[in-house]
Amino acid sequence: MSPLTDLFSLPNELFLSDIFTHFDSVDLIKLFNSIENRRLKCLVWASLQTRMSIDLARVELSNQWLTSNLSFLPSGNQTIAVRIDNTQLNETLAAVIVKVFPKLTRVEVIMLQERPQKEFFLILSRVNLDSLTLSSIANDQNEMLIYVCNSQCTLRYLTITEDNNPIHTPLEELFYHYNYRLTCLSVAVIDLGVAASLMCHVPVLEKLVLRLPQRRRCTAGHPREYRDEDHRSSQWSNRLQLLSIIAPRAYTRITSSFYDFVRRFGSSLERLSFYLTPQALERELLEQLPRLTRLDFCIHTGPTYPHESDARRLFDQWSVNQRHVISIYHSPGRFHTRFTLPFVFDRLEIVDASFLDFHSNLPMADDSLRLPTVRHISFLCSTRKIFTNTLLEKIHHTCPRVHSIHLTNAGPPLCLSITLAKLDLLPSFTFQMVTQLEIDHSSTSLPTLRRMFELFPRVEHLVISYKFVESWRIVQPLCELPKSVRRFTVQLKYDKGRTNIDQWQTCLPFSVELHSYISKN
């Protein structure tokens, strides 16, 4: 038998091209940086110097550990992107990061806890960033807006990923500052009126992604709370080439407000995409966008025509020369879903059994429908049985990269205890990429919840609504959470519901973080 090979006798090439590639930057530091071997330490540094990003947002990494270990790294590396959480970041660590990563231009911050916003954004302002991604923003949004809408801000790209707390105050009520560098913005706002107030503060935007997650009631006289006459004197960007607007199904009155907002960019807009619930697709909009070269949409519309076959024929005549369009008729609610291919959105709302019977305006095989960009799916629980093997298999094939599942209620309250009926055995496959499960429903049985965890075995974030909390004792399922769950979020309807947080915390494993927020719906 050949003798065992000593670690230190392995050639440099094996470390750099094979061994080190199996570890991310932090693991590489933790595993090898403490070894008192100059050659091995130099190889670790050489590997780290070639890496473009580093993820520091890990629970076990304290601020003290990061400060001491990153300080020993050689400067002059190629790292341009850092991911970190806001509890770790302070002035000392920020100074170390700037020194160790001189080419740093991108930072992603996971907002885990509330902290003084002024201090936090003051630290960020000392790092000359080109791109910033925030997982969410605090209730006090002024400091974030003052940081972004400032002539000294170096940002060109800003993304806020979560929708729980959209920007809700028109900016003209806050301050008069401008950012002449920001070209790409992706953010959640409470309505188009707030979005319009933001436009004059970012006059050189080229790409704008707006998400309107709040289910606000709109009145006939003030739909979407945007009026063109209120903003005619303000100067908006004349460079905007891509505009994307995404709103939930609950917005049912998208009329002149939406079209007036889009028309403001008519001189420059080249690509328009929208995920809305409009009353109609008006040709007038396209006629006033002369530079438009591409239109992507996903829309949910009511029963405009008496028969679905008539609706499809009329729609096919309009779209056959424009884009490849898929049409789905939801028979329980008598409404339509239509979207263009290739699908460009990261979400697909209102998924039910009708998804199996789609119509295409161009010839295509049933199994050729693919939506690889979809990350979030919302299942509409309008019937007592939604998760059938056939539907699950279709979703698994069509949306291979989905990582967030949302169960939402429609119509009268229904118990989901039979959505995974005993007659329907669990499919042979599971959704390995699904890491977030949100139950926005009035009642779900414990056996069904267990079967969901079997179907989604890698769920890390479980979100439940106040409907679920009010209808059922939640302590028992908390004790049975799978080991994969790391974050548990409760949506509360009233602030008084926070009194139960302490009780739930005692039932959760130590490794699970408990969060809550007040629903504004």
- 48-62, 182-196, 305-319, 337-351: range with lowest mean pLDDT: 305-319
Q: With 70 as the cut, is the pLDDT of residue 307 above it?
A: no
**What pLDDT band is residue 14 in, cutting at 50, 70 and 90?**
confident
> For the purposes of burial, counting CB atoms within 10 Å of the CB of 191, is it exposed (0-12), middle (13-18) or buried (19 or more)?
buried
| pLDDT, average across residues 135-153 | 82
pLDDT tier for residue 221 given thresholds of 50, 70 and 90: very low
* Radius of gyration of the chain measured on its C-alpha atoms: 25
pLDDT value at residue 316:
57
Handedness of CA 32, 33, 37, 42 (dihedral sign): positive
Answer yes or no: are the C-beta atoms of 20 and 50 closer than 8 Å.
no
Highest mean pLDDT among 202-216, 247-261, 266-280: 202-216
Band (pLDDT 50/70/90 cuts) for residue 249 is low
Helices (H), 158-253: 192-199
Q: 62-66, 165-169, 211-215, 300-304 — which is least confidently predicted?
A: 300-304
Predicted local confidence at residue 154, as pLDDT:
92
Largest CA distance in the chain: 86
Torsion of CA 491, 495, 497, 498, to 10 degrees: 90
Strand partners, 271: 242, 294
- The region of weakest confidence among 14-18, 132-136, 184-188, 440-444 is 440-444
Cα distances from 110 to residues 59, 85, 114, 137, in angstroms, run: 11, 4, 11, 10
Average pLDDT over every residue of 257-285: 76
| 300 bridge partner residues | 337
**Under a CB-based contact definition with an 8 Å cutoff, are residues 163 and 190 in contact?**
no
Please, is 166 exposed, middle or buried when counting C-beta atoms within 10 Å of its C-beta (0-12, 13-18, 19+)?
buried
- Of residues 480, 483, 477, the one with CA closest to residue 464: 477
d(CA 286, CA 450): 49
pTM: 0.75
Q: How far apart are CA 240 and CA 271, in angstroms?
A: 9
Phi, psi values for residue 113, rounded to 5°: -135, 155
Q: What is the pLDDT of residue 1?
A: 43
User: If pLDDT is split at 50, 70 and 90, which confidence band does 131 have?
Assistant: very high
Cα dihedral: 33, 39, 45, 48 (round 10): -90
- Which of these, 517, 381, 349, 516, lies nearest to 448 by C-alpha position? 381
Q: Is the pLDDT of residue 358 over 70?
A: yes
Predicted confidence (pLDDT) at residue 242 exceeds the cutoff of 90: yes
